[in-house]
């Protein structure tokens, strides 16, 4: 599908609506429409999907999502200064863009979309991890979304896709990979954004699996993982002390070695541990 629309270039949009970037809102805009179209394509086929976008800003990615064929885009933007620019996009794609002037952290987003749903966003860095954790921990599984295509700081992206044995491996990797396929789809240098942030960025693509890879109670697993990585240098038997009576026996029952460190334990091991702690 064509990525060309009849709307003005984004630099012009920013000048017309005086959208000087606000650091407190994590505003680092993407002004290259070829790049925003490429990010939209990373989300796969959008035809027939409702797409949730958090933080559309001046609407570069929004335009990409609509041009790539999203059935409907629901864009949640906290900064009211962006609304006129987004209204212009809504007028160019009648009936396909709904803009909500709201804080994404305070919104019941699912109430505004009809499945099937994909979530695509160049997230504000200050709330990106919080939103990801919420999307990864709904009350039931599979979640209401089929995939997440999200821009993060490179360091956060590395933590999401990290494998056991690496420094980046921890809570985010386990939460993400327990029930999703997760990969880095694209990396971007600071100059890709206006203004340029200090750090490199990456687009992570997560696809929800129909069921968790290994059985475990979500709340127990989260508790075990949080405690194990709270002092990641400690051996499991010390790090998990106080989590349950006879913790060393439970570690062994889970097929793990009490002298292992959290960093070495694969997701399967943490799930076994969660079952042993719950049992």
* Contact string 46-85 vs ligand SAM (x = CB under 6 A): --------xxxx--xx--------------xxxx--x---
Please tell me the distance from the alpha carbon of residue 178 to that of residue 212, in angstroms, as a whole number.
6
Q: Minimal CB distance to ligand SAM: which residue?
A: 55
Name the minimum Å distance from CB 128 to ligand SAM.
9
Our finding on whether 271 is near ligand SAM (CB under 6 A) is: no
| CB closer to ligand SAM, 22 vs 163 | 22
Q: Report residue 176: phi and psi, to 5°.
A: -75, -50
**Which residues make up each annotated binding site?**
28, 30, 55, 77, 103, 122
As annotated, the binding site for S-adenosyl-L-methionine includes: 28, 30, 55, 77, 103, 122
Exactly one of 12, 45, 103, 249 binds ligand SAM (CB under 6 A); that residue is 103
Q: Which of 64, 124, 143, 170 binds ligand SAM (CB under 6 A)?
A: 124
Stretch that binds ligand SAM, among 19-27, 180-188, 222-230, 244-252 (CB under 6 A): 19-27
Which residues contact ligand SAM (rule: CB under 6 A)?
25-30, 54-57, 60-61, 76-79, 82, 103-105, 122, 124, 127
């Amino acid at each position: 599908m064509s990525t060309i629309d009849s709307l003005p270039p984004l630099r012009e949009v920013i000048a017309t609506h005086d959208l000087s970037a606000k650091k407190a809102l994590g505003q680092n805009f993407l002004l290259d429409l070829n790049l925003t179209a490429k990010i939209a394509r990373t989300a796969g086929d959008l035809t027939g999907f409702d797409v949730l976008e958090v933080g559309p800003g001046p609407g570069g990615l929004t335009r990409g999502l609509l041009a790539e064929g999203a059935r409907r885009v629901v864009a949640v933007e906290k900064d009211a200064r962006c609304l006129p620019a987004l209204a212009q996009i809504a007028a160019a794609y009648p009936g396909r863009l709904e803009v909500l002037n709201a804080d994404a952290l305070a919104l019941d987003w699912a109430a505004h979309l009809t499945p099937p749903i994909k979530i695509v966003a160049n997230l504000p860095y200050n709330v990106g991890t919080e939103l990801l954790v919420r999307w990864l921990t709904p009350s039931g599984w599979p979640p209401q979304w089929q995939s997440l295509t999200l821009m993060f700081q490179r360091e956060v992206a590395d933590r999401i896709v990290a494998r056991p044995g690496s420094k980046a491996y921890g809570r985010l990797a386990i939460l993400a990979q327990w029930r999703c396929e997760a990969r880095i789809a694209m990396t971007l240098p600071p100059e890709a954004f206006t203004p340029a942030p200090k750090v490199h960025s990456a687009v992570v693509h997560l696809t929800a699996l129909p069921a968790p890879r290994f059985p475990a109670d979500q709340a127990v697993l989260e508790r075990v993982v949080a405690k194990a990585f709270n002092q990641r240098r400690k051996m499991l038997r010390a790090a998990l002390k106080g989590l349950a009576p006879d913790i060393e026996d439970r570690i062994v029952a889970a097929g793990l070695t009490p002298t292992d460190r959290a960093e070495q334990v694969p997701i399967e091991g943490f799930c076994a541990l969660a079952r042993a702690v719950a049992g």
